[in-house]
Amino acid sequence: MTQVTLPSGIALEYETHGSPADQPILMVMGFGTQLIGWPRAFCAHLAAPGRYVISFDNRDTGLSQKFADAPAPIEAIMSRVLAGDLDGARALAPYTLSDMAADAVGLLDALGLERAHVLGASMGGFIAQTMAIEHPGRLLSLTSMMSSTGEPEYGQAAPASLDALLAPSPTEREAYIDSSSRWLAWHSHRYPEAEETRRLAAEAFDRGLCPEGTQRQLAAMLAGGSRAAALAALALPTLVLHGLDDTLIAPSGGERTAELIPGARLVLIADMGHDRPRPLWDAICQPIWEITACA
């Protein structure tokens, strides 16, 4: 286990794979998911051709800092969002996507990295996009995976997948592991990997769950608003990856992201859902290797 405390006071847990002498890839994970959501074997596979892969627990997740005393009034935030009052929504949120992006930049600082290739999945894609918008000089490239632009008309979740995502989690270990079968709602249809999902759930429980933290992350996402105009102004190498089986963030989210960012490359992967099944690792990693091949 490796942890660093940033100048902001935020403590982040992180892991690395590969050599620091290689091209760095900072991996930003999604909503309520710990760094182990990037399977360590996947990270090693991604690092194998000569990449320095860095994964970390976002704030309020896993072994990173929790904001236990910060309320997240989801209904009030949603009311402000629906009324078009994003400033009011952000004022109510315990923190914002910008704060989470600043955490990631702080981790680069702590590791002595001036710039890095940044890969974000799902909510991690929101954070990675925010990094590119607010800290463009720190990114060598942007990879937005299974993510969207913050525009509500794109990337809409199927109701069953959204219900599964937002359902309360059991607090007992075995019940929590059993409940991970809900996650299969958004997994690859061809490669659901049910046993691997149970193993991940067991490890996540043992590392430490923070249900209140997922509410605070949800508040940050709700208050995030659209990034469309800012994405259209980006000027850096960009890859957009999306699974055609994704029912949690529909492929239109990735398509819209690639449409907005000048010169972005869109790769749609057959048989991939809102997950990274082992049989598709080469299909996922190959375009990432290509965009991260040089500074």
Query: What is the set of domains in the chain, with CATH numbers?
Result: 2-157+210-291 (3.40.50.1820)
pLDDT confidence of residue 294: 74
Q: Is 8 exposed, middle or buried (0-12, 13-18, 19+ CB in 10 A)?
A: exposed
Residue 151, C-beta contacts closer than 8 angstroms, at least 6 positions apart: 226, 228, 256
CB burial string 245-262: b at 16+ within 10 A, e below:
bbbbbbbbbbbbbbbbbe
Residue 42 reports pLDDT greater than 70: yes
Euclidean distance between the first and final Cα of the chain, in Å? Answer: 29
- How buried is residue 86: exposed, middle or buried, by Cβ count under 10 Å (0-12/13-18/19+)? middle
Residue-wise pLDDT tens digits, 183-202? 999 999 999 999 999 999 99
> How many other CB atoms are found less than 10 A from the CB of residue 159?
10
Residues 103, 10 contacting (CB under 8 angstroms): yes
pLDDT in tens, 197-217: 999 999 999 999 999 999 999
